[in-house]
Structure 1
Amino acid sequence: MRNLEEIITALKEYDGEEVRIMEVCGTHTAAISENGIPDMLSPKIKLISGPGCPVCVTVTAVIDKLVELAMREDTCVLTFGDLIRVKGTIKSLADAKADGAHVRMVYSPMESIKLAEEDPAHTYVFAAIGFETTTPVYAMLLEEAVKKDLKNLKLLTSLKTMPEVIRWVVTNGGGIDGFIAPGHVAAVTGSGIFEELSKELGIPFVVSGFEGAQLLMTIYALISMKGKTGMKNLYKDVVSYEGNIKAQEVVNKYFEPSDSSWRGMGKIPGSGMTLRKEFSPFDAGSIGLDEDHMPPGCQCANVLVGKLRPYECPLFGKACTPDNAHGACMVSTEGSCYNYFVSGRK
């Protein structure tokens, strides 16, 4: 492979057929923006942010359920920061908190163990959203809750898996020529799942880390592989072919595959993980949360699958800004709209 300086020159001067490359990891979306990578590429290289931000793909029914739970006198909802500001059908968890609901931001799911132990009079519900990256953490949380017999700790789950949504994007006309495979997800699942997807879909995948130099090398590799199948792993210091077997085992102990609803995409068969029946007492009502009500004019659904660029949404930068976000893609620091806005990207 060429050295980095040669790769940068080649990417800037590329004059072949247009290449559409999608990343499906919110951290990649943020890293691409932070490193100014779009400005280093030929206009014929199009980077598209796919459905890789967990907050962005969570349907409004999940938010509505969390708001309902938080309004109960004996219940407190625990969540990461980004989710607090995402609106449901009517209000966000931040709005509910202003109305007196019990909502608390935490930095780790494991904090909920101590809270539940110290306050048995209240039920603590953790908003468990995410992809294969965070599901093992929720499994470890359950492991501890089961061991301690914490009957006042529950999860409301909206857990997604990558392979099925990638299939959905390709099948539904995304026009994608290659995928930057999510490094964090691959660390758990292994790079092998992307090799299988490449063979099935006829599109190349390159597993990447998050440094600017590695992302540039990844984009260069995908351009070189355009029109071919194959998977390359450029993140071998973290990602193996088989993945983290122990993490996979603990996830399979507590969760099983399920159909799941995605913002703007509807229900995708086999694209989620739900609690196994034997652990249903720890579920706070996750089943059947499928409804999704986009704010009027919001185009997050089309942005998430690459049909529109964020700035093509009529609300972008006008009614919808990071300080007054209408859509989930503008709320999260991993969201494509947020990153387009803060970087001034076009």
Structure 2
Amino acid sequence: MKYVQEFRDPQKAQGLLQQIEVLGQQLTQSRPGPIKIMEVCGGHTHSIFKYGLESLLPSTVELVHGPGCPVCIMPKGRLDDAIALAQNPNVILATFGDVMRVPGSKQSLLQAKAEGADIRMVYSPLDALAIAQKHPDREIVFFAIGFETTAPSTALTVLQAERQGIKNFSLFCNHVLVVPALEALLSNPDLQLDGFIGPGHVSMVIGARPYQVIAQRYRKPVTISGFEPLDILQSLWMVLRQLAEGRCEVENQYARLVQEQGNLVALEAMAKVFTVREQFEWRGLGDIPASGFKMHPDYAHFDAEAKFTLPHRQVADHKACACGEILKGVKKPWECKVFGTGCTPEHPIGACMVSSEGACAAYYKYGRAQTAPELVSR
């Protein structure tokens, strides 16, 4: 297919892999262990395993999977808040499908729905707004989730609700920001990273500039990447080339879609509807300052947290679940003792096994036999 196969050319991939091997050998001559590059985005993790890229890399280069799955980083306490909203008889909770199976402290949204809560799966916040128009006698709450990728569509929906005078619509806002999460990772002494493959979809919105803090303050190179095999391999090569040349910069491999200044219309909508929280809890990473959005005071009448009383509890993860360590990049999924046995996509214990962007789900679907052969017989 034109414009797809060009990004999956085996000969070009082999050429990039040869250059990656040369750079990897050069960089590890004077240091122990492999060069560790984190792909931040869960979409990149999915592509890496779908196309078998990790198994093609030399032993001198290791990919570390980051906290770029918005479903996976949602803490149990926030899920419990969403369930509490849905159990209000006057509320219809609208949510994306992959959120419904994530376990809270006692049950998931799907289980709450089975017990009678009015929870409806939608494909966009506009679907939730349409439900509000059809049910003026009910309060419709949209479970807003995602990085800066999905935040603009949520913001634009709020602006449309305001224009149309729809008053029975509100957000349970859980949008999060990628750069503060990277800073939190770099402050973790247990995790030694050499550079980042930056997220493509988020960067289409925010642009390349916000990553300058990672390159300048933390001295880690960043390459924003597309999602095809050659995109990822070229981005990895670009990070390694920076390391070999002693540079720490933000480079944009995904220039066909990502602009330096980002999407100005999207940024304007977000700035109007949202403001940054003082802190937000991330699964596995704890409270990260300035890492999430909340409703701007001018739009407080669309804020479900202002309209309703919620538990707002912090809840620890299941003791057997290593999701927190996996999201921090400290562990690989197959190092979790319940991976592929007690925890599967059909019966997840942790959030990383639920979403298709979760590292555990990617390992289970594509990389289980390659990465942890001892698990095949289980």
What is the rounded CA distance, in whole Å, between the counterparts of 1:127 and 1:169 in structure 2? Answer: 26
What are the Cα deviations for residues 147-174 of structure 1, in whole angstroms up to 9, with x where unaligned? Answer: 1121111110111101111011011122
- What's the offset of the Cα at 1:118? 1.1
> Aligned partners of 2:312 and 2:292: how far apart in 1?
12
- 1:237 is paired with a residue whose SS is coil
1:177-196 alignment to 2 at 5 Å? 177-196=194-213
For structure 1, the 5+ residue unaligned runs are: none
CA deviations on 1:33-81 (whole Å, 9 max, x unpaired) are 1111111101221111111000000111111111111112121111111
**Distance across 1 between alignment mates of 2:330 and 2:300:** 38
Letter in 2 for 1:182: P
Aligned residue for 1:19? Answer: 35
Q: Residues 290, 242 of structure 1: CA spacing in aligned structure 2 closer, same or farther, 3 A cutoff?
A: farther
Does the 8 Å CA contact 2:21/2:60 hold for their aligned counterparts? no
8 Å contact kept, 1:12–1:40: no
Quick check: 1:175 aligned with 2:192?
A: yes
Alignment of 1:278-289 (within 5 A): 278-285=298-305, 289=312
Structure 2 counterpart of 1:156: 172
CA contact (8 A) 1:261 1:267 kept: yes
CA contact (8 A) 2:81 2:311 kept: no
1:73 to 89, 93, 97: 89
Q: Distance in 1 between matches of 2:313 and 2:240?
A: 37
| Paired amino acid for 2:353 | M
328, 331, 337: which one aligns with 2:354: 331
2:231 match: 214
The answer to whether the Cα contact below 8 Å between 1:267 and 1:290 also exists between their aligned partners in 2 is no
Give yes or no for contact 1:261–1:290 (8 Å, CA) kept in 2.
no
Aligned pair partner of 1:276 in 289, 296, 302: 296
> 1:128 is matched with which residue?
144
Return structure 1 stretches of 4+ with deviation > 6 angstroms.
none
- The answer to whether the 8 A contact 1:263-1:292 is kept is no
Give distance in 1, aligned partners of 2:328 and 2:337.
Answer: 17
**How many Å apart are 1:285 and its aligned residue?**
1.4
Q: Does residue 1:237 correspond to 2:256, yes or no?
A: yes
SS of residue matched to 1:292? coil
1:1-346 equivalences in 2 (<5 Å): 4-11=13-20, 14-16=24-26, 17=28, 18-173=34-189, 174-226=191-243, 228-258=247-277, 259-285=279-305, 289=312, 291-343=314-366, 344=368, 345-346=370-371
2-side partners of 1:82 and 1:127: how far apart? Answer: 12
Distance in 2 between residues matched to 1:157 and 1:339, nearest whole Å:
27
Q: 2 CA distance for matches of 1:292 and 1:28? A: 29
Deviation at 1:3, TM superposition (A): 5.2
TM-score, normalised by the number of residues in structure 1: 0.96
CA separation in 2, counterparts of 1:199 and 1:211? 28
CA offsets, 1:103-144, max 9 Å, x none?
111111111121111111111111101111111111001001
> Aligned partners of 2:361, 2:261: CA distance in 1, in Å?
34
- Alignment TM-score, normalising by the size of structure 2: 0.88
What is the number of equivalent residue pairs in this alignment? 345
Q: Which amino acid aligns with 1:269?
A: P
Residue 56 of structure 2 aligns with an amino acid whose one-letter code is: M
Distance 1:49 1:5 in 2: 23
Secondary structure of the 2:36 match is: strand
1:232 is paired with a residue whose SS is strand
Q: Quick one: which amino acid aligns to residue 15 of structure 1?
A: Q
- The one-letter code of the counterpart of 2:275 is E
Q: By how many angstroms is 1:32 displaced?
A: 1.1
SS at 1:24 equivalent: strand
Using the TM superposition, name which of 190-199 and 213-222 deviates more. Answer: 190-199
Q: Amino acid of the residue matched to residue 257 of structure 1?
A: V
Distance in 2 (CA, whole Å) between partners of 1:217 and 1:269 is 33
Segments of structure 2 that go 5 or more residues without pairing to the other structure are 1-10, 29-33, 372-378
Separation (CA, whole Å) in 2 of partners of 1:288 and 1:192: 37
Amino acid at match of 2:149: T
Matched to 1:55, the amino acid is: V
Q: CA deviation at 1:228?
A: 3.2
Residues 204 and 231 in structure 1, CA contact (< 8 A), matched pair in contact too: yes
SS of the equivalent of 2:304 reads: coil
Three-state SS of the structure 2 residue aligned to 1:32 is helix
Q: Distance in 2 between matches of 1:106 and 1:5?
A: 41
Q: Does the 8 Å CA contact 2:145/2:174 hold for their aligned counterparts?
A: yes
